[in-house]
Amino acid sequence: MSQKNQTLGEFIIENQAEFKYSSGELSRLINSIRLAAKVVNHEVNKAGLVDIIGAAGDVNAQGEDQQKLDVYANNKFIQTMTKRNIVCGIASEEEDDFISINSQDEQNQNKYVVLIDPLDGSSNIDVNVSVGTIFSIYRRITPVGTPVTIEDFLQKGDEQVGAGYIIYGTSTMLVYTTGHGVNGFTLNPAIGTFYLSHPEMHFPETGTIYSVNEGNYIHFPQGVKDYIKYCQQEEGDRPYTSRYIGSLVSDFHRNMIKGGIYMYPQSSKYPQGKLRLLYECNPMAFLAEQANGAASDGFGRVMEIEPKELHQRVPLFCGSSKMVQMVENFMSSSV
Ligand code: AHM
Ligand code: MG
C-alpha cells in the first residue's frame, strides 16, 4: 500500500507487479529517468550562476564547456538511458531523427522506446520561471533484437505504457503514470531523494482557471474565441481566472491541483498548433486521463490521433474534463 513519504525507489519496487508485462525493465527505465532528473535539476538550479561561474573560468568535472541547458538536459537523459542499456530507442525534441540503441547487438532484448522533451519551456530559464521535462514510454512494435524503426515511435497515445514529467519549480517534482493513476514525488534536495508527496492526483471535474496565450486571440478559430468569451462572462462561477506561465508542465501541474484548462489552439501562426504530439501532447494527455481529466485536439481525444511524423504538431486542450468538453462543444458548434 503506497503511503505518503515513501521514497520513489520504494514505490517503484512496490508497484512493479501491477505493470502489464512485469520483468523489472520498466522499473529500471523509470529509475534511470529519476537519476537523470536529479542531475538536470542540479544544473537548472544554478542557471543564474552560469555566467558568474563561466566568468571565473570554471569548467565542470568532465572538463566540458558550459552548454545551453536544453542541450545539456537532452544529453543527460539520452546518456543515462543509453549507458544503462535500458531502452532500444529514443526520440527527442532536440534530435531531428530517432536514435537506435545497440541496434547491432542481438543480445539487446530491450522492449521500450522513450520519447522526450528534455527541457520544455526553456525560454523561461533566463527569467527564473519553472520549466519541465516530459517523457512518454511505449513497447516497441518491431521484434526485439532488431534495430528500431520509425514505426516503433509513431504509435497512438493510447498505446503508451508510461508517461510523466519533472517540474523544476519552487520545488522539484517527478509526476508519472504507468496506467494506474498519477502520483507525484517531491525531491528533498538535501539528500537527493524523491518522496511520495502527492499520491493519486486528480483534476477536479471542473475549475475556474483558463490558461492560454491570449496575445494570439485574433488568430484563434471562432470556437476558441467563443470559449474564451464564455470564460470571461459574468455568470455562476464565472468570470474565470486567467493564468498562463508559458511553460506547459507548470500550467498543467497547477491546473491539475486547482482545476482548470490549458489550451494551445491552432492559429494562423501555427495552423497545426504549436505543441508536439508525441513528446508533449500524448504524455500530458495520458497523465490527464489517468487523473480524471481530459485532453482533446478540439474535436476528439488526443490519444486517438494516428501519428504521421516524429515532430508532428497538434492543437491541445487539456485539463478538467467538463472544461475540455465545453471547448469541444464550442468548437463543433462553430464549424
Ligand atoms: P518549447 O518546446 O519550444 O519550449 O515550446 C513549448 C512551450 C510550452 O511549454 C508552452 O506552453 C508554450 O510553448 C508557450 O508558447 P507561447 O510562448 O507561444 O505561448
Ligand atoms: Mg517543448
- Closest atom, ligand 1, to C-alpha of 215: 19
Cα 123 to middle of ligand 1, angstroms: 8
Lowest mean pLDDT among 124-133, 187-196, 218-227, 246-255: 124-133
> Comparing C-alpha atoms, which of 45, 113, 50, 106 is closest to residue 78?
113
Which of 198, 233, 261 terminates a domain? The answer is 198
Judgement on whether residues 217 and 128 belong to the same structural domain of the protein: no
For 276, the domain range is 209-334
Asked if 191 and 221 sit in the same domain, the reply is no
On whether both 107 and 234 belong to a single domain, the answer is no
Which atom from ligand 1 is nearest to the alpha carbon of 262? 11
96 shares its domain with 194:
yes
Ligand 1 binding pocket includes 247 (Cβ within 6 Å): yes
DSSP state letters, 298-330: SSSBGGG----STT-B--EEEEEHHHHHHHHHH
Tell me how far apart the terminal alpha carbons of the chain are, to the nearest angstrom: 49
Domain harbouring 43, CATH code: 3.30.540.10
The residue whose CA is least distant from atom 5 of ligand 1 is 121
Residues 116 and 216 in one domain: no
| Confidence band, pLDDT 50/70/90 cuts, at residue 107 | low
Judge if the beta carbon of residue 300 lies within 6 A of ligand 1.
no
Regarding the beta carbon of 329 and ligand 1, being less than 6 Å apart is answered no
The residue among 198, 224, 247 that closes a domain is: 198
Phi-psi region of 125 (alpha: psi -120 to 50; beta: other; left: phi over 0): alpha
Q: What tens digit of pLDDT does each residue of 150-199 get?
A: 999 999 999 999 999 999 999 999 999 999 999 999 999 999 999 999 99
Going by alpha carbons, the residue nearest to atom 14 of ligand 1 is: 246
Asked if 72 and 179 sit in the same domain, the reply is yes
Mean pLDDT estimate for the chain: 90
Q: What does the pLDDT look like over 261-277, one tens digit per residue?
A: 999 999 988 999 999 99
28 and 138 co-located in one domain: yes
For residue 70, pLDDT over 80 is answered with yes
Please indicate, yes or no, if residue 266 is contained in any of the structural domains.
yes
What is the model's pTM? Answer: 0.93
62, pLDDT greater than 90:
no
What is the structure's pLDDT at 244?
98
Closest ligand by atom to 124 CA: 1
| Cα separation, 265 vs 298, whole angstroms | 8
Look up the CATH number of the domain holding residue 287: 3.40.190.80
Q: Is the CB of 121 under 6 A from ligand 1?
A: yes
Contact between 12 and 64 (Cβ < 8 Å) = no
**Structural domain total, the chain:** 2
pLDDT, tens digit (0-9, with 9 covering 90-100), for 126-149: 788 999 999 999 999 999 988 999
- 58's CB contacts (< 8 A; 6+ apart) are none
